[in-house]
Amino acid sequence: MSSLIKQKTIKKEISFQGKALHTGLKSKVKLLPADDGKGITFVRKDVNKKRNIIKAIWNNVTNTKLSTTISNSFGVSVSTIEHLMSAISALQIDNLLIEVSGPEIPILDGSSKIYFDKISKVGIVSQHKDKKFLKILKKITFKNGSSEASISPSNNNFDVSYKLDYKHPIIKKEKYSIIVNNNNYKNEIAAARTFGFFEEFNNLKNNGFAKGASLKNCIVLNGKKILNKSGLRYKNEFVRHKILDAIGDLYLSGHSILGHFEGIKSGHSINNKLLKKIFSDKSSFALVNMSEVIKKENNIIAIQIPSQIAS
């Protein structure tokens, strides 16, 4: 039997600052180590201490319009958390305190690369308690029109597949698949930036969105042109960014996932509704550590350490 995998946190404090994508406000974020079993918690430093704690969990999601927003019972919220959550998920961090100066996380360069690289550089430490994984036991699907998200059992990995289909001369149809681990995420996903359409910018801004959007933090498409002088970081950067978002959204399950996620034109809303559907059906998952066994059909099988997280 393989050794147990322990929960993890960061070695020391890390800070980030920059403009928020939708509010356009300057935002500061500080990541702090957290004790075993604490999970991922956001703290709004501009709000009264008794009301400022927000757990990063699926049932605290209150808005999915163009980003993912979580709120507490007092109505205090923090938005655009998906890029940071994506990096945290890929790095297998279980416990973290995230202090933020206002209502939105900074967008930085529009990807999760800066978050991922800086956290990696500071380092991650193992803790005392065993890590629990969300192991998917049967396929669960959520559909809304032509958009769909599903998750099914996998060979003890976290696999993500995505199909993108835009009626647009540049994006059109893209698909991509990845086994999520530290190296794959760093090389294939982390640098993929968010994207938007020039013709929609004024309308979004008038409705309170994209006030901080610029060519420094977004890929901007205008008809058949990409306005960013440096072009794309990957040939299929659009679908890779959708995978980045999905990884962040799914980490609101509260656990690293052992399963295969498939998205077809899915976004933040459908990703969250898939999580709600999973947790409404207790037969669809099990919380396991690496020494436990599960029943599969008529056999009892040992769960092996997934290759992407073996030390």
Please check whether residue 225 is in contact with residue 36, taking contact to mean a CB–CB distance below 8 angstroms. Answer: no
Task: List the catalytic residue out of 83, 241, 260, 268.
Answer: 268
CA angle 151, 61, 252 (to 5 degrees): 45
CA angle 126, 306, 129 (to 5 degrees): 30
Residue 35, CB-side half-sphere exposure with 13 Å CA sphere? 0
Residue 287's contacts (CB-CB under 8 Å, 6 or more residues apart) are 132, 133, 134, 135, 255
Q: 160: closest CA among 268, 246, 230?
A: 246
In angstroms, rounded to a whole number, what is the distance separating the alpha carbons of residues 198 and 142? 31
Residue 268: active-site member: yes
Please check whether residue 186 is in contact with residue 114, taking contact to mean a CB–CB distance below 8 angstroms. Answer: no
In angstroms, rounded to a whole number, what is the distance separating the alpha carbons of residues 186 and 91? 10
Cα-based torsion angle of the residue sequence 145, 146, 150, 155 in order, rounded to the nearest 10 degrees: 170
In angstroms, rounded to a whole number, what is the distance separating the alpha carbons of residues 104 and 283? 36
In angstroms, rounded to a whole number, what is the distance separating the alpha carbons of residues 152 and 135? 9
Please check whether residue 29 is in contact with residue 117, taking contact to mean a CB–CB distance below 8 angstroms. Answer: no
Catalytic (active-site) positions = 268
